[in-house]
Structure 1
Amino acid sequence: MTLPALFLPHGGGPCFFMDPAGGPPDPIWQPMQAYLAGLIGSLSEHPRAILLVSGHWEEHDVTVHVGDGQPLLFDYYGFPEHTYHLRWDAPGAPDIAMRAKALLDAAGFATGVERERGWDHGVFVPMKVAVPGADIPLAQLSLRADLDPATHVAIGKALAPLRDEGVLIVGSGMSFHNLRARGPQVTPYADAWDDALVAAATDPDRARREQRIVAWRELPYAEFAHPREEHLLPLMVAMGAGGEGGEGPAVCDYRDHVFGWAVSGFRFG
């Protein structure tokens, strides 16, 4: 069975874990939490490992993390003290990282290896919800610092064989990421952007889908939605990985609003 590739929203900082007593998050985050909590159960088979690319890690060359991911990297600021002591103790997956490196090397990418960096909050915050038992090994992959859209689609294509090897490929970012624009006055622009993004990312013609997403800046309100595109690039990796040949299905399987933003998640293949 071939697993899909996913692009998921990872929320804002430790948003699902703000209550030190472990209660539910602010109601604004509960639909996203429910979506993330149902991801693994929605798959046709249980993944043997996860390869995740986060919008919070960039390197000159695309880089695989071959360590165990611990300690976590608390790369958020101004949150309650207890959120800097969260744990997600899943094992690393150095074998999957090195398999990913081999695929990227074969596709002509210069690929680095790193073992000291902890998993950033683009990894452990959504995965703590999606895999609360921390029982699926995970390897992290960086973005390439040039943030070139076509390159990141090609990276995803190179990684696609992992989907037939029991590995769930996950892009973790946000489909809207303008932290300075919040409130109901933002919603018409965020909705127009999201409508266009969903139409492009789910275009039934795979080649045309790729063309439209690579040209994402041509979509309405694109640079308003992403003043800097690092949180959108994981979508391109997931889309690239989401099926070679034919018309791989692509669906928007989550959409909600936070802070006036329309926020979507996608499933490819």
Structure 2
Amino acid sequence: MTDRLPTYFVSHGGGPWPWMKNQYGPAYDRLEASLVDMRRQVGVRPRAVLVVSSHWETERFTLSSGAAPGMIYDYGGFPPHTYQIRYPAPGAPQLAARVAGLLEAAGHPAGLDPERGFDHGTFSMLAPVYPQADMPVVQLSIRHGYDPALHLDAGRALAPLRDEGVLIIGSGLSFHNLRLFGPGGAQASHDFDGWLRHTLLALPPDQRRDAMLHWRAAPGARQAHPREDHLVPLWVALGAAADETAACVYHEEEFFGSLAVSSFRFGAAPGEA
């Protein structure tokens, strides 16, 4: 068994879905089961979780550094009770400073934001994983411009955290085109998801990186991601485990009736060793 934690890229679903099971029925059952299973895969209790959020973009990498982060309801048109959700996980100011230091040392300007709260890409995704909200959590922003090389390199800079008990999770979505979130996006989602699974699972590390740098050439790429904000966290998670094998930990072909979506783990899972 290794003490090094894996990293994850999670397709986090839409809005505050864990608090809308009456409305969604079984639509999120498979995603929820995969998130719950993450605890078994990890096998140990991490010291903290670092979430790379697709819902926070900044000019430079920025860390949530407050001791008790609040909530950011960054969605619209949902039931009133979803604007009262609380996920009171503690922050981790020392970890935020450690992450900023690693990024700065690798040549990536980084800052701290003590006022930043948890957005739904963090609290909705973590609620099934750590339902007691007792795991310290720090959010990391993505950079404007969505440069794949920059985010892959930032991930590599953060790799030492894996040996320090920090679980790195990139939170996004393998298909994110809200205008085609249904039958209209079926073909693009299946084409792009098939490319993504082949690239991450079958290619050697150097070819995998090169494919990520040229992801726009993938089939269905721009239909799947008109803006690649929900793909960027994948690059950070992959960069932090750049030379290690990948596993698909969640996949379905008919998400919301027609879409293909996936989540991935990079590196060995202590709980499965």
TM range (shorter): over 0.9
Deviation string, structure 1 residues 100-135 (Cα, Å, up to 9, x no partner): 111111101111111112111011111111110112
Q: Structure 1 CA distance, aligned partners of 2:174 and 2:68?
A: 25
Separation of aligned partners in 1, 2:264 and 2:225 = 17
Aligned AA for 1:258? F
Aligned to 1:8: 10
Give the root-mean-square deviation of aligned CA atoms. 1.4
CA distance in structure 1 between the partners assigned to 2:47 and 2:7 by the alignment: 14
Matched positions, count: 263
For 1:180 and 1:25, how far apart are their aligned partners in 2? 19
Stretches (4+) displaced over 6 A: none
Q: Which residue is 1:18 aligned to?
A: 20
Helix, strand or coil: the match of 1:38?
helix
Partner of 1:129: 128
In the TM superposition, what is the alpha-carbon distance from 1:69 to its structure 2 partner? 5.1
Matched position secondary structure for 2:40: helix
Gaps of 5+ in 2: 268-273
Kept after mapping to 2: 8 A contact 1:152/1:233: yes
Aligned residue number for residue 36 of structure 2: 37
TM-score of the aligned structures, taking structure 2 as reference length? 0.92
Farther-moved stretch of structure 1 (185-194 vs 151-160): 185-194
In structure 2, the residue matched to 1:84 is 83
1:1-269 residue pairs with structure 2 within 5 A?
Answer: 1-19=3-21, 25-68=24-67, 70-243=69-242, 247-256=243-252, 257-259=254-256, 260-269=258-267
8 Å contact kept, 1:53–1:172:
yes
Paired AA for residue 210 in structure 2: Q
- 54-63 vs 254-263, which moves further: 254-263
Q: Which one has the bigger helix percentage?
A: 2
TM (norm. structure 1) is: 0.94
Measure the CA separation in 1 of the matches of 2:180 and 2:167: 33
Partner secondary structure for residue 117 of structure 2: coil
Whether the 8 Å contact between 2:188 and 2:221 is mirrored in structure 1 is no
Deviations 1:56-95 (A, max 9, x none): 0010001111113532000000000001111111110111
1:237 counterpart letter in structure 2:
V
* Counterpart residue type for residue 94 of structure 2: D
Q: Give the whole-Å Cα distance in 1 for the aligned partners of 2:43 and 2:245.
A: 15
Letter in 1 for 2:41: S
Q: Could you tell me which amino acid in structure 2 is paired with residue 47 of structure 1?
A: P
Deviates more, 1:194-203 or 1:166-175: 194-203
SS at match of 1:152: helix
8 Å CA contact 1:16–1:25 kept in 2: the answer is no
Question: How many percent identity over aligned positions?
Answer: 45
Question: Equivalent residue of 2:179, what SS?
Answer: coil
Shift of 1:151: 0.5
Q: Which amino acid aligns with 1:147?
A: Y
Task: Return the alpha-carbon distance in structure 2 between the equivalents of residues 89 and 118 of structure 1.
Answer: 10
Q: Structure 2: how far apart are the matches of 1:105 and 1:140?
A: 17
Contact 1:3 1:44 in 2 (8 A): no
